[in-house]
């Protein structure tokens, strides 16, 4: 395969990983109406979980992935219950600050437990030096998960409840929907997707450090905003756009030092043209 | 009321006179009249502990050797190493503590940023400083002599080395455009080698080490990639390069690559490409001085802590000792309770004509700007790599 197509495929795969993470941001925003800035660190915890089970305990790789997903899901539920639920109904600023605090808390705990020394976790050694296969697997699984998520939201009872809470929390509660349960499920889904993203992230960049979550976190958050925060198809499109821009800029020697700048410039331009993102709902305000 | 004011005034006066005394440098050097005190500050805990620990052990070892050789009637040293975790503020505090307790000569700091803060106090109080490992250009500009290459010196030395030993290679460079260390080496490297001799250049920024696919693609034609970057992003780059950059290529780095073989999960010997770095020390060398040092170190301390920083610290102590011996050979006598300032005057004069040979090189000299002049060696990090 020519270099161009390998790169293009890699870009789509990277976009798929960003999309998986962006889904976590966008679902939590759509349903709980909060920005969960600790989401990026769930990826970091997922990667460390893989480090412990795979490298230290030497478990088979499928078991490590399952454990990472379960651990991150429980962590997401735990964080929601301990840190965000008590603040439900308080000012958005208080919740935002709490999210940032939770993020630092997770990073500090991991730092204390594992030190700041970087680690390499190569889950699939046979895929090393084979970017095409890595990209195809990433893209395939990411697409399947996103399709499954859309089906889940549209055709299951709990999915319907999620949409209802997102539309009008008060009315949903009056209709007998358990809002707390719905929000908990949202966090669980978002965190498990983040764990899957962590696995794919490691396939691409096997570097594990306690601050590794911030970069994918901020890029995926931008992806969610580009696509229109709160919109699930928007998160996917935003993720793919971020992946394409990043790989494109990284391939051109003169632009390599400005990759982040280009990404955020495009974010700003999109927001100027469509303030609520590509697929975001525009609210008409009547005067 | 008046009485209280008076008391207050008196105590302020007393306090300030004590502070004044301290500031005047009224050190009690007589307190350590049995040995000359060498002070150093470096990371003994935290992320960079591996560097500071090696320096501390090796300096202590050199001191012990010299003391045994000289005997009680000759020159005697004592070494004190303080922990700064690589942090500038702690390093500045350490300077004060060391200076107050009678430090007469110093190995500066282990890391660059901390060394600049440490050197402020050193320059002000005229303490002679020779750092084993702080490479930044700001370090020698702050008044510290270097035993290691400065960043700009490293870029130049690397280019010269490539011109001599890898002249047929297609050279590529990958650097971090947001990091002073990397950019500094890169600029001087390009200046020395010439733009025309570089096949491809790629860069990245601190916050953007997601994947190196694009950078690898830019550099795929090269069969030598110069990597003036830290080892953490280097691990990601080398992995991403597999299957794209030729198996017989060379990844050639600066001292920032030191430690890459210690990254958990990154087996340097599992890659077909040669990974090497420009250094001044090779622990596997068969040279007598190096072998004696390595064997002695490994029998006394944890072999994992032995690196080029440790070797350099060992040389620093011996160089200071050598200069003092030269001074005494001219018919002078150095008292053990000499003040830091007087010793500084002697050493600053001696270093102008001093030539030192040790484990990090031979015929080492110092330029008037305090940078070191010595020939670098290439240290191969993965000699047991898989050959395809």
Mean pLDDT by 10 residues, chain B (388 residues): 52 50 52 84 83 93 96 92 92 95 94 92 94 91 93 90 91 90 91 92 79 89 93 90 91 88 88 91 83 94 87 96 95 90 95 94 91 87 81
Residue A186 pLDDT level (bands cut at 50, 70, 90):
very high
A161-184 pLDDT per residue, tens: 999 999 999 999 999 999 999 999
Would you call A253 and B235 a contact, using CB atoms and an 8 Å cutoff? no
> Residue A195 and residue A70: Cα distance in Å, rounded?
8
Give the gap in angstroms from C-alpha A154 to the nearest C-alpha of chain B: 33
pLDDT number for residue A143: 93
Residue B273 contacts A, CB cutoff 8 Å: no
> Is residue A283 over pLDDT 70?
no
Asked whether B187 and B238 are in contact (CB, 8 A), the reply is no
Per-residue pLDDT, averaged over A124-144, amounts to: 89
pLDDT number for residue B2: 46
- CB-based contacts of A136-144 (< 8 A; 24+ apart in sequence): A136/A9, A136/A13, A137/A203, A138/A13, A138/A16, A138/A17, A138/A200, A138/A203, A138/A204, A139/A9, A139/A12, A139/A13, A139/A16, A141/A196, A141/A200, A142/A13, A142/A16, A142/A17, A142/A19, A142/A20, A142/A200, A143/A16
Q: What is the pTM of this model?
A: 0.78
Secondary element (H or E) of residue B174: strand B171-176
Which chain A positions have a beta carbon within 8 Å of B217's beta carbon? Answer: 3, 7, 251
pLDDT number for residue B1: 45
Per-residue pLDDT, averaged over A51-56, amounts to: 93
Structure tokens at B350: 């001696």
Q: Name the residue in chain A with its Cα closest to that of B47.
A: A116
Give the gap in angstroms from C-alpha B205 to the nearest C-alpha of chain A: 6
Would you call A116 and B235 a contact, using CB atoms and an 8 Å cutoff? no
Nearest to B212 by CA among A249, A254, A121: A249
pLDDT number for residue B263: 87
Would you call B214 and A247 a contact, using CB atoms and an 8 Å cutoff? yes
pLDDT number for residue B20: 45
pLDDT number for residue B8: 54
pLDDT number for residue B208: 61
Interface size, chain A vs chain B, as Cβ–Cβ contacts under 8 Å: 108
Q: Mutate which of A256, A258, A259, A262 to disrupt the B interface (most B C-beta within 10 Å)? A: A256
Strand partners, B204: B176
pLDDT number for residue B30: 58
pLDDT number for residue B31: 60
Residue B46 contacts A, CB cutoff 8 Å: yes
Which chain A positions have a beta carbon within 8 Å of B201's beta carbon? Answer: 253
pLDDT number for residue B21: 44
Residue B195 contacts A, CB cutoff 8 Å: no
pLDDT number for residue B14: 53
Per-residue pLDDT, averaged over A133-150, amounts to: 93
> Is residue A253 over pLDDT 60?
yes
Sign, Cα dihedral of B49, B55, B58, B62: negative
Per-residue pLDDT, averaged over A2-24, amounts to: 91
Length reported for chain B: 388
Residues ≥6 apart with Cβ < 8 Å to A252: B214
Per-residue pLDDT, averaged over A132-147, amounts to: 92
């Amino acid at each position: 395969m020519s270099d161009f197509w390998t790169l293009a495929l890699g870009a789509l795969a990277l976009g798929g990983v960003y999309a998986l993470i962006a889904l976590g941001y966008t679902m939590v925003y759509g349903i709980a109406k909060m920005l969960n800035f600790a989401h990026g660190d769930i990826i970091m915890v997922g990667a460390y979980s893989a480090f412990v089970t795979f490298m230290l305990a030497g478990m088979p790789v499928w078991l490590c992935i399952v454990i990472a997903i379960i651990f991150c899901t429980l962590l997401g539920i735990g964080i929601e219950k301990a840190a965000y639920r008590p603040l439900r109904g308080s000012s958005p600023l208080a919740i935002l600050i709490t999210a940032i605090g939770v993020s630092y808390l997770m990073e500090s705990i991991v730092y204390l437990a594992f030190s700041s020394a970087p680690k390499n976790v190569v889950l699939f050694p046979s895929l090393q030096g084979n970017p095409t296969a890595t990209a195809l697997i990433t893209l395939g699984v990411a697409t399947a998960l996103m399709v499954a998520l859309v089906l889940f939201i549209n055709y299951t009872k709990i999915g319907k409840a999620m949409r209802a809470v997102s539309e009008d929390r008060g009315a949903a509660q009056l209709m007998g929907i358990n809002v707390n349960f719905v929000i908990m499920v949202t966090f669980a889904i978002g965190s498990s997707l983040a764990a899957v993203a962590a696995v794919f992230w490691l396939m691409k960049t096997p570097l594990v450090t306690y601050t590794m979550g911030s970069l994918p976190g901020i890029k995926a958050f931008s992806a969610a905003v580009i696509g229109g925060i709160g919109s699930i198809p928007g998160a996917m499109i935003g993720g793919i756009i971020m992946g394409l821009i990043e790989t494109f800029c990284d391939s051109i020697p003169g632009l390599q030092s400005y990759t982040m700048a280009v990404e955020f410039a495009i974010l700003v331009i999109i927001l100027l043209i469509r303030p609520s993102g590509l697929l975001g709902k525009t609210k008409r305000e009547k005067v | 009321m008046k009485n209280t004011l008076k008391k207050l005034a008196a105590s302020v006066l007393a306090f300030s006179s004590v502070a004044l005394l301290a500031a005047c440098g009224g050190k009690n050097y007589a307190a350590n009249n049995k040995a000359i005190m060498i002070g150093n500050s470096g990371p003994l805990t935290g992320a960079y502990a591996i560097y500071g620990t090696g320096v501390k052990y090796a300096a202590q070892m050199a001191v012990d050797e010299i003391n045994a050789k000289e005997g009680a009637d000759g020159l005697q040293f004592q070494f004190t190493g303080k922990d700064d975790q690589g942090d500038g503020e702690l390093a500045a505090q350490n300077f004060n503590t060391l200076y107050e307790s009678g430090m007469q000569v110093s190995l500066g700091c282990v890391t660059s940023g901390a060394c600049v803060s440490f050197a402020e106090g050193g320059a002000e109080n005229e303490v002679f400083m020779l750092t084993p490992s702080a490479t930044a250009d700001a370090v020698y500009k702050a008044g510290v002599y270097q035993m290691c290459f400065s960043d700009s010196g490293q870029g130049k030395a690397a280019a010269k080395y490539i011109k001599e030993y890898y002249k047929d290679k297609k050279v590529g460079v990958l650097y971090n455009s947001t990091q002073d260390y990397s950019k500094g080496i890169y600029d001087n490297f390009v200046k020395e080698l010439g733009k025309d001799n570089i096949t491809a250049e790629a860069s990245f920024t601190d916050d953007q080490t997601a994947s190196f696919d694009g950078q690898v693609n830019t550099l795929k034609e090269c069969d030598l990639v110069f990597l003036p970057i830290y080892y953490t992003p280097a691990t990601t780059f080398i992995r991403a390069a597999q299957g794209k950059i030729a198996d017989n290529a060379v990844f050639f780095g600066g001292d920032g690559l030191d430690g890459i073989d210690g990254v958990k999960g990154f087996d340097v010997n599992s890659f077909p490409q040669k990974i090497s770095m420009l250094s001044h020390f090779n622990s596997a060398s068969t040279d007598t001085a190096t072998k004696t040092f390595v064997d002695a170190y490994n029998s006394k301390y944890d072999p994992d802590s032995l690196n080029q920083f440790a070797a350099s610290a060992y040389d620093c102590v011996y160089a200071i000792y050598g200069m003092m011996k030269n001074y005494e050979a001219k018919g002078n006598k150095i008292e053990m309770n000499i003040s830091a300032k007087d010793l500084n005057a002697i050493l600053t004069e001696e270093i102008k004509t001093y030539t030192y040979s040790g484990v990090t090189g031979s015929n080492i000299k110092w330029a008037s700007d305090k940078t070191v002049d010595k020939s670098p060696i290439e240290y191969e990090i993965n000699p047991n790599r898989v050959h395809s």
